[in-house]
Amino acid sequence: MGSLALTSMHGTANAADAIKIGEINSYTSLPAFTVPYKQGWELAVEEINAAGGVLGRPLEVISRDDAGKPGDAVRIVEELLSRDKVDLIAGTFFSHIGLAVADVAKRQKVFFMAAEPLSDAMVWSKGNRYTFRLRPSTHMQASMLAEEAAKLPAKTWATIAPNYKYGQDAVAAFQRLLKERRPDVKFVAAQWPALFKIDAGAEAEALAAANPDAIYNVTFGGDLSKFVREGSLRGLFKDRTVVSLLTGEPEYLEPLKDETPDGWIVTGYPWYAINTPEHKAFVNAYDEKFGESPKVGSLVGYNTFMSIAAIIEKAGSTDTEAMVDAAEGIEVSTPIGPITFRKSDHQSTMGAFVGRTAVQNGNGVMVDWRYANGADHLPGPDEVKHLRAGN
């Protein structure tokens, strides 16, 4: 995917006045998530510019594809800063890429709004003054799931997760948080397939051989579909509870269709059942513009750029230090309710929906869901000081 510039001019603003945002993401590596994400921020930019922009200036987005490679991402960010003279950086999906960009933000002292990378290191062990993250982290979502898992009778657990930073963090957080609630549980097996190279049949057989009471799954995308299919064929999920990170998201449920497993405990996004006026307005605007329903990526993209606009507005300029100061503690309105970017670690309190999977009319959906506020699943300021002590 090449570059994309979105600019809408209103009032007396002209191209020289535009606020330039450098945006990067893994568009060709994971289009199921990143394309809806792109559509989400396009909608936000359109709405912001139609309302007169920010500080009377339109937003211009210069978008690049990092091809899922940290080296490419770093090179692109350097180009956006030196050649395109962007005012700030936004985006990224994979955790190892987000961490690489965060390092550039720290070195170059440029504001970076990380949209999606979920690794806890983004805001804790590798956190820095210039990096903020929108999406609920692995710790936050693992905490939400551990809260539900602790209610189960299961005492022995097995895990499966992609073998890179996100998967490693997600498993470590869930194990720690579940054991805090249930000291009697044991983890008896762990499978670590390479990202998007899963041998699902072999992984399912290895998990079955361990005979756990329950499974914690962190696979996503094509790996998830293969794991569900092969696990179902081998009876892996029969009479066994599965707790699964991200599986309730439309990006991953929709491809499964009637193969969606029944009763998995998941985090996700039941857009079709959220009936607040703010959310309905978002869904209607998204459908009107793109002719389809939103995904989690859509919501993340939209919230990312609405947050950026609110931060610049509060800062009164695009000066980096002013934006950082403005972002710390700011509250932003979103289609799923207000969120706050915490001063202590720059993590937003955006939450996630927790429920169970089911099949309705041949499609995978979330049922019996609730919204878990991200603020309820984050450590306090004193613990954050310890977590960020080395940076």
Question: DSSP string covering 9-31, please?
Answer: --TT--GGGPEEEEEEE-TTT-H
Does residue 5 carry a pLDDT above 80? no
Beta 241-248 vs 214-217: how paired, if at all? Answer: parallel
User: Which pLDDT belongs to residue 10?
Assistant: 35
Contact (CB, 8 A) for 382 and 369 = no
Q: Write the pLDDT tens digit of every residue in 168-201.
A: 999 999 999 999 999 999 999 999 999 999 999 9
Q: Write the pLDDT tens digit of every residue in 35-60.
A: 999 999 999 999 999 999 999 999 99
Question: What's the average model confidence in pLDDT over 290-300?
Answer: 97
Does residue 9 carry a pLDDT above 80? no
Nearest-CA neighbor of 181 among 136, 138, 144?
A: 144
Q: Write the pLDDT tens digit of every residue in 343-371.
A: 999 999 999 999 999 999 999 999 999 99
User: Which pLDDT belongs to residue 165?
Assistant: 87
User: Which pLDDT belongs to residue 312?
Assistant: 98
Tokens of 388: 């960020």
User: Which pLDDT belongs to residue 1?
Assistant: 36
Q: Write the pLDDT tens digit of every residue in 65-91.
A: 999 999 999 999 999 999 999 999 999
User: Which pLDDT belongs to residue 336?
Assistant: 98
**Domains, the chain, with CATH or none:** 4-137+275-350 (3.40.50.2300), 139-273+352-381 (3.40.50.2300)
pTM of the model as a whole: 0.93
User: Which pLDDT belongs to residue 391?
Assistant: 74
Tokens of 62: 């210069």
User: Which pLDDT belongs to residue 83?
Assistant: 98
User: Which pLDDT belongs to residue 8?
Assistant: 37
DSSP reduced 3-state for 273: helix
Q: Write the pLDDT tens digit of every residue in 225-283.
A: 999 999 999 999 999 999 999 999 999 999 999 999 999 999 999 999 999 999 999 99
Confidence of residue 64 (pLDDT cuts 50, 70, 90): very high
- Order of strands, sheet of 59-65, starting from the edge strand that comes earlier in the sequence: 4-7, 59-65, 19-25, 88-91, 112-114, 131-133
Does residue 3 carry a pLDDT above 70? no
Looking at every residue in the chain, the average pLDDT score rounds to 94
Question: DSSP string covering 122-182, please?
Answer: GTTTT--TTEEE-S--HHHHHHHHHHHHTTS---EEEEE--SSHHHHHHHHHHHHHHHHH-
User: Which pLDDT belongs to residue 390?
Assistant: 76
User: Which pLDDT belongs to residue 73?
Assistant: 98
Q: What is the DSSP letter of 184?
A: T
Contact (CB, 8 A) for 355 and 270 = yes
Q: Write the pLDDT tens digit of every residue in 118-152.
A: 999 999 999 999 999 999 999 999 999 999 999 99
